[in-house]
Structure 1
Amino acid sequence: MSLTRREALAGAVCSAIGVPAYVPKRTPNVLFIHTDQQFAGTVAAHGCPYVRTPNMDRLAAQGVSFHESYSADPVCCPARSAWYTGRPPSENGVVRNDTFPLEASMPDLGQWFSGRGYDSLYAGKWHIPGRPHDRSFRLLTQQHGIGEQDDISNARAVREFLRSRRPSDGPFFLSLGLLQPHDICYWVFAHTERLEAPIYPDVMPELPPIWHNLRFDEREPETFRKSWRNGAVWQHMSQWDEWQWRYYRWSYYRHVEMVDGAIGMVLDALEETKRDRDTVVVFTSDHGDGMGAHMLWQKMYFYEEVVRVPLVVSWRGHTPAGADDREHLVSGLDIAPTLCDYAGIEPMPQQRGRSLKPLVERRKVEWRDYLVSEAFTTGRMVRTATHKFIKYHGDATEQLFDMHSDRGEMQNLIGSGAADETADAMRRMLAGWEAHLVPSSAGRITDPAWNSPGSQAPSVRPSLPAT
């Protein structure tokens, strides 16, 4: 391959400052950056006025942002197992945090890329039980799921790797697991009591205004209520004054800003080493946070603040700059096939998601009409372009929300009469999806009444890629 004069001069400059010279190549590097517990609506470039995220904004400005992006299971271990296997937790076995191991027979992305010419590397939080990540990746940092090292330390490790990487070393697949804004969990533990004033009174003018969905429709599934409304922490938080809820959300935004700084270190290193031109970056989060909506916090349920996550695909010179996709429903199950597609390698077996590359490239493709997320072993969410349906196995109470007129999910339409046909159709969608899965022993639901009432599978089941 011959170099242009500009590329040759760039190589000379890089040599002078000790950075390996950039050499154009056909096979891209793949960089997967993921945060922990970040709601989709916490990126300044996507319209949030209460947070400063210049580095997430930079990714969005260079790529495509998917605004209808949903976690495959809105809690840490299950969501991550879905990323790395392309299979839902009910199939891969990781249906709870730190309890059920990943199915030993299932390959993960680190193993898959390593076997196809890529150097698979990992830094930061892993958190998939039963699959030590040193069996799948070459580790840049050593730590467990909670994170013994902070995000800046992990970002520095990635930066030094990029600076020392030689052009002749071949393509890499690098996954960076960042911890924040997860530590808002501990902030809440420390602030459950009723306060007279903020610990930092000067922030009062900065607190975001109270949001329209602080309250909630009390017709919630009993499974959900037992787990969340009856807990000691929520009993304390339910007594908060409105300013305390605002203080909680303000603090959450500050945690998002912390992780944005770590992302910036990595993006700076990509540009410094000229690898931004041959590295596709996929950025997302495992799940969101309650953020005080419906007077809730944490994760593991299906309200938007918890289940909808940011997702950006960015590759300088290849992806449309600053593009927004608000049309297509995308899932955490789409991560694995997308990364494989950009690397030019075949997808792992029995993938339940689809590559986003055709959507990024604005190609005309048939896309899914609905997606399914799981939670808490027995919980399921069906999302269409217009509605969200929520059901827990063994629980008589269901939820249905009109996501056009009621984005805050304040009015449960189940039992309203006017929405009965919509609810029945979404039960059938769920039945059709479940019928295709091969559940693990941990994810198997054996009760034949699981799909009732009115949820018989359609006579012609849609193929998985079309869902």
Structure 2
Amino acid sequence: MAERPNIILIMTDQQRYDSISALGFPYAVTPNIDALVEKGVALTNCHVNAPSCVPSRASLFSGYYPHTTGVLANGQAWQRTWVEQLRDAGYRCVNVGKMHTIPYNSDSGFHERYVVENKDRYMEGRWYFDEWDKALAANGLVKQQREHYRKLDDYRDRLGCFDWKLPEALHSDAFVGNMAKWWVETYPTTEPLFLQVGFPGPHPPFDPPARYAEPYLRRNDLPLPRPTKEELRSLHQELKDKRQHDVEVDHDSVVWSLDPSEDQMQRLWAHYLGNVTLIDEKVGELLGSLLERGYLEDAIVIFTSDHGECLGEHGLIQKWSMYDVVTRVPTVIWSTAGRFEGGRSVDGLCQLFDLGPTILEYAGIVPPKTFEAKSLKPALEGKDWTPRAHVFCEQIGDVAMAGGVEFMTGVRSDRWKLVHFKGSEDGQLFDLENDPKEVRNLWSDPAHAERKRELLDVMRDWLIESNFKTRDVMAGAR
């Protein structure tokens, strides 16, 4: 084993835990990610720090909770990362694809960045041309996007599902996978390497080439969500408002329906899973190139996502909520040189930003003492490791939080989850052991008043401890 392994971090955007066959979802065609699961360590209870792209990534790449970074919603500026420490330690640091830094083209510690951001950036006020835009323009093409989709007669019935009709190689996920492969095969071999590959999908628009969605369209056994009227009536008012807002405003080319048909749901899941299969194909090709170039002789390979997706669960679309389908992400870590035993799972609670100090430690770097993230290295190596007793999630008002709630905070243990909505007397409390689908809200149940108080106390103490631990970090930020 080399002193410092190559580190490959592959991230998707908005990918549910249950979208990978080897993680218990046999409907998905994901042979390459399945192989990672079979060879590596699956973290089966890894939860994000924020239920949307920018704050989740800012937390992951900083090592601090969103309230510490000050990045709590999409569109907020951030650019400093622990990648700088890898660069300073001698790693060649390369990003291909999505990082969601703002500004989009900050170096953020990388020697090279080949940026490809959201597939649909219509009217966001953050205009720029990334590598994907340039590639399309070089081919005399304009990407499929909202202003074009809106011209379709059935636009409002599609739930954000479209077939990619331009050349397959210019689909954003194919383009990112191909560009990462091109870099690996073209750039002179350089070690140690930190390569971060960010696929834009399966984030909407749900737009794979038709051949990826068609096999799923033909399946009659997909477990499509069927929320009951009782559950929809019991939703927190913020989520009811979000449902209506998502019907009226087409975020990411998605117009939601309050009562989607079976055919609409089949198409939604088919296009989503088709995009997952496309990404899986590109992951396999990239790993093949890394192997051929010798980078996998000693490497740590990580696959994960920044948050999940409701896909109709609880009557909701996209993210911006604290259900497990949003907060729990697929996370797999593989050591190609046997630094730790593979073919197993670690089931204790951890958070997505715990990957940061894990990567630093494997690179021979001591993480800053102020980090709120905790290394997973002991868990991977089968040493003494204490899972987190609770994981936390935060989000301030965002484009799709249309109600009067300004701030959501979630706390989850192995069995219980509580979500606090600032400005609301109501909240959410779920017994995950007896109600794993999070359907029965116990917030107002007198029999669970003590449990609610206990979790609110945990949330309070966590914030106090966090503010104390990071006081110098926050002072330095000013």
Please tell me the root mean square deviation across aligned C-alpha atoms, in Å.
2.6
1:431 aligns with 2:460: yes
Q: What is the CA distance between 1:151 and its match in structure 2?
A: 2.3
Q: 1:170 aligns with which of 191, 201, 204?
A: 191
Aligned to 2:15: 38
Equivalences for residues 150-189 of structure 1 within 5 A? 150-164=172-186, 166=188, 169-184=190-205
Alignment-mate amino acid for residue 267 of structure 1: L
Q: Tell me the secondary structure at the aligned position of residue 61 of structure 2.
A: helix
Alignment-mate amino acid for residue 152 of structure 1: A
- Give yes or no for contact 1:300–1:376 (8 Å, CA) kept in 2: no
- Give yes or no for contact 2:107–2:113 (8 Å, CA) kept in 1: no
Q: Tell me the secondary structure at the aligned position of residue 283 of structure 2.
A: helix
Q: Distance in 1 between matches of 2:265 and 2:206?
A: 14
Equivalences for residues 47-446 of structure 1 within 5 A? 47-98=24-75, 100-102=76-78, 107-130=80-103, 132-146=105-119, 149=132, 150-164=172-186, 166=188, 169-184=190-205, 203-206=217-220, 208-211=222-225, 213=227, 216=231, 218-233=233-248, 237-316=257-336, 317-326=338-347, 328-348=348-368, 350-377=370-397, 378-438=407-467
- Give yes or no for contact 1:207–1:250 (8 Å, CA) kept in 2: no
Q: Distance in 2 between matches of 1:162 and 1:78?
A: 29
Fraction of identical pairs, as percent: 26
Q: What is the CA distance between 1:84 and its match in structure 2?
A: 0.7
Q: Distance in 2 between matches of 1:224 and 1:214?
A: 15
Structure 1 361/213 Cα, relative in aligned 2: closer, same or farther at 3 Å?
farther
- Which segments of 5 or more consecutive residues in structure 2 lack a partner in the other structure? 120-129, 133-171, 250-254, 398-406
Q: Considering only CA atoms, is the larger Rg found in Structure 1 or Structure 2?
A: 1
Q: What does the per-residue CA deviation read over 1:205-239, in whole Å, with 9 as the maximum and x for residues that have no partner?
A: 44514346566253333333323344425995113
Q: What is the CA distance between 1:77 and its match in structure 2?
A: 0.7
Q: What is the CA distance between 1:165 and its match in structure 2?
A: 5.2
Aligned to 1:4: none
Q: Distance in 2 between matches of 1:264 and 1:186?
A: 20
Worse-matched range after superposition: 82-91 or 127-136: 127-136
Q: Distance in 1 between matches of 2:235 and 2:50?
A: 19
Structure 1 64/260 Cα, relative in aligned 2: closer, same or farther at 3 Å?
same
Q: Distance in 1 between matches of 2:191 and 2:218?
A: 52
Q: What does the per-residue CA deviation read over 1:297-318, in whole Å, with 9 as the maximum and x for residues that have no partner?
A: 1111111211111011111223
Q: Distance in 2 between matches of 1:239 and 1:227?
A: 14
Q: What does the per-residue CA deviation read over 1:378-422, in whole Å, with 9 as the maximum and x for residues that have no partner?
A: 111101010111111111111011111111111001122222221
- Give yes or no for contact 2:430–2:442 (8 Å, CA) kept in 1: yes
- Give yes or no for contact 2:415–2:433 (8 Å, CA) kept in 1: yes
- Which segments of 5 or more consecutive residues in structure 1 lack a partner in the other structure? 1-23, 188-198, 445-467
Alignment-mate amino acid for residue 33 of structure 1: I
Aligned to 2:166: none
Q: What is the CA distance between 1:128 and its match in structure 2?
A: 1.9
Aligned to 1:11: none
- Give yes or no for contact 2:42–2:346 (8 Å, CA) kept in 1: yes
- Give yes or no for contact 1:207–1:246 (8 Å, CA) kept in 2: no
- Give yes or no for contact 1:126–1:145 (8 Å, CA) kept in 2: no
Q: Distance in 1 between matches of 2:394 and 2:7?
A: 27
- Give yes or no for contact 1:126–1:133 (8 Å, CA) kept in 2: no
- Give yes or no for contact 1:277–1:315 (8 Å, CA) kept in 2: no
Q: What is the CA distance between 1:240 and its match in structure 2?
A: 1.9
Worse-matched range after superposition: 72-81 or 370-379: 370-379
Q: Distance in 2 between matches of 1:121 and 1:438?
A: 33
Q: Distance in 2 between matches of 1:325 and 1:135?
A: 31
- Give yes or no for contact 2:206–2:275 (8 Å, CA) kept in 1: no
Structure 1 366/91 Cα, relative in aligned 2: closer, same or farther at 3 Å?
same
- Give yes or no for contact 2:51–2:320 (8 Å, CA) kept in 1: yes
Q: Distance in 2 between matches of 1:157 and 1:424?
A: 51
Structure 1 254/206 Cα, relative in aligned 2: closer, same or farther at 3 Å?
farther
Aligned to 2:169: none
Q: Tell me the secondary structure at the aligned position of residue 394 of structure 1.
A: coil
- Give yes or no for contact 1:124–1:142 (8 Å, CA) kept in 2: yes
1:28 aligns with 2:2: no
Q: Distance in 2 between matches of 1:55 and 1:75?
A: 26
Q: What is the CA distance between 1:373 and its match in structure 2?
A: 0.8
Aligned to 2:404: none
Structure 1 321/95 Cα, relative in aligned 2: closer, same or farther at 3 Å?
same
Q: Distance in 1 between matches of 2:4 and 2:228?
A: 48
Structure 1 111/200 Cα, relative in aligned 2: closer, same or farther at 3 Å?
closer
Q: What does the per-residue CA deviation read over 1:120-172, in whole Å, with 9 as the maximum and x for residues that have no partner?
A: 111101212247332521225244444753222222332233334555x3312
Q: Tell me the secondary structure at the aligned position of residue 437 of structure 1.
A: helix
- Give yes or no for contact 1:184–1:252 (8 Å, CA) kept in 2: no
Q: What is the CA distance between 1:180 and its match in structure 2?
A: 1.2
Aligned to 2:137: none
- Give yes or no for contact 1:71–1:287 (8 Å, CA) kept in 2: yes
Worse-matched range after superposition: 156-165 or 255-264: 156-165
Alignment-mate amino acid for residue 117 of structure 1: G
Q: Distance in 2 between matches of 1:26 and 1:298?
A: 42
- Give yes or no for contact 1:221–1:392 (8 Å, CA) kept in 2: no
Q: What is the CA distance between 1:27 and its match in structure 2?
A: 1.0
Q: Tell me the secondary structure at the aligned position of residue 411 of structure 2.
A: strand
